[in-house]
Amino acid sequence: MADYQAPLRDMRFVLNEVFDAPALWASLPKVAENVDPDTADAILEEAGKITSGVLAPLNREGDEQGSKWTDGEVAAPEGFKEAYQTIVEGGWNGLGGNPEFGGMGMPKTLVAQFEEMMQGANMAFGLAPMLTAGACLALDAHGSQELKEKYLPNMYSGVWSGAMDLTEPHAGTDLGIIRTKAEPNDDGSFNVTGTKIFITWGEHDMAENIIHLVLAKLPDAPKGPKGISLFLVPKFLVNEDGSLGERNSFSCGSIEKKMGIKGSATCVMNFDGARGWLVGEENKGLAAMFTMMNYERLGVGIQGIGAAEASLQSAREYALERIQSRAPTGAQQPEKAADPILVHPDVRRMLLTMKSYVEGGRTFSTYVAQWLDISKYAEDNERRKHAEGMVALLTPVAKAFLTDRGLDACIIGQQVFGGHGFIREWGQEQLVRDCRITQIYEGTNGIQALDLMGRKVVGSQGKLYELFANDVAAFIEENSGDQNLRPYLEPLAAAFERLSDVTEHVIKQAGDNPDAIGAASVDYLDLFGLTALGYMWAKIVKAAAPKAEGDTSGFYTGKLKTARFYFDRLLPKTVSLAEGIRSGSDAMMALTAEEF
């Protein structure tokens, strides 16, 4: 198996040539204070060294050893604690954090590249910094000044880590029925009691304290999701002078035995009157939690890209070295017993499909990160509101489409290896197992599709969709005279029109048919995602085409040829998806329960 290497050249291309991220950063004063092109480049370079040289070598051993639970204590796999120290000593834990409390204040467009490297190198490990960053984001946005001053500096530094405690044994997607309770104390704290499951890195030995953000209900809380509050519950109580005090009244009851990401601890957490502090307003816990959800859901989509990139690197190397049979057009390497399998059309189909999804997906994740940066940092209210609408619309697509295609790419990569892909030593089977969870956590992909179709598209009567539609239409119009783009703009416009027609069709259906949204949602998200990646590949062509002539490295010419493959072989899938959506819900809902 190829050793994972951070795809720095591709990342720099997306940041600097496709999106001109430095210009975006310069337009956002709070971002410009902290980053410039030289700083960003140095961050990418160092991130590549750490992820490729420190994290990637631990990936297989972490999977084989797994985290270990003993009497409530969890030990991370061998080498993870030392790697964690390397990460935190370099300031990587607070890369996107608020500088007021010790964070580096880097924009999401840059942080997203580091996240992809970390997840591609070692997803199980990468979940620890990812969850801490999410907890910091929610605390920074909604916590009191006292809580932020007390907890954020040590969380950004990595001395303390963070965990998010949402799910309960009986309540997954439907958080409105959680049972965890929070009883108020006279000193302003609360006693939190209940059980949470599937808590990623909820217990471990890598940091000296773990700060849990726990969803719970107050005694007089309204029923349903409107009665949920968010509480900060530390593993060790923190004294007034900042030192650690006694252990709080909760423990890890067990860790799950899982299909993948075995190096990470997925914990059952039992809270028994643990002391906690309210984050944000009473009964507004979901709003506080959703502040970080857009970032976390994009982060999960990036996990899909990272795993797919790792699979592509290995499959590409294998296809270049493995010799089997002769090319259909005759021997390509007659001095050898057979030709490399790269000569075979089907192997090329597999590799190009992976390459299309990985490089298009990386561009799309950066596109979404760009809107996140504008929504957070823009000083112009109209610009910020526009970006917030784009983030709301695109987040479920980023999470679900990128993880669906990420798993597809990992499975395809395994297939390139043939029987060797099924064998542990080559690493492809681990990537398949690890990537699978990305379709499930942070809201299953079916729920993401319902969110897109129901809340964002139908719920806004198409207003949020129009934001994206206007962006695509403007790109097509502005580049109509570009000879390099002409072969791509026509099929992009056709797919875009198809998506717009289907959008209008479902909005109309939903007024009379309660099942219309659910019946259309998954296919609609795929249709949206394929069209969005077509838009991204058109942007890639615009950036690469002027530099392709005389390109001896194959970098820019490879982009153009991959774009041609995407438009010829993958974008046409939008036709069948649209037809399926237009068929409505009748066939889906016709069977009785007994007929299943």
Q: Write out the catalytic residue numbers.
A: 442
* Alpha helices (H) in 27-107, listed in sequence order: 29-32, 37-50, 59-65, 80-89
Residue 194: strand pairing partners: 271
Phi-psi region of 105 (alpha: psi -120 to 50; beta: other; left: phi over 0): left
The 8-class DSSP code of residue 2 comes to P
H-assigned helices in 90-209: 108-121, 123-142, 145-157
**Strand, helix or coil at 145?**
helix
Rounded to whole angstroms, the Cα distance separating 227 from 178 reads 10
> Three-state secondary structure along 291-309?
HHHHHHHHHHHHHHHHHHH
DSSP letters spanning 38-53: HHHHHHHHHHHHHIII
Amino acid code (one letter) for 160 = W
Residue 106's φ and ψ, nearest 5 degrees, are -75, 145
Cβ contacts of 304 within 8 Å, gap of 6 or more: 361, 402, 403, 404, 405, 406, 407, 435, 438
One-letter amino acid for residue 485 of the chain: L
Largest CA distance in the chain: 84
d(CA 173, CA 225): 11
Q: What CA–CA distance (Å, rounded) separates 390 from 472?
A: 12
C-alpha–C-alpha distance, residues 17 and 359, integer Å:
14
- According to DSSP, the β-strands at 209-216 and 229-234 are antiparallel
- What's the token pair of residue 88? 């935190």
Task: State the Cα–Cα distance between residues 425 and 447, nearest whole angstrom.
Answer: 35
Closest to 168 in 3D by CA, of 215, 226, 234: 215
Cα–Cα dist 32/503, whole Å:
38
Please tell me the distance from the alpha carbon of residue 253 to that of residue 317, in angstroms, as a whole number: 43
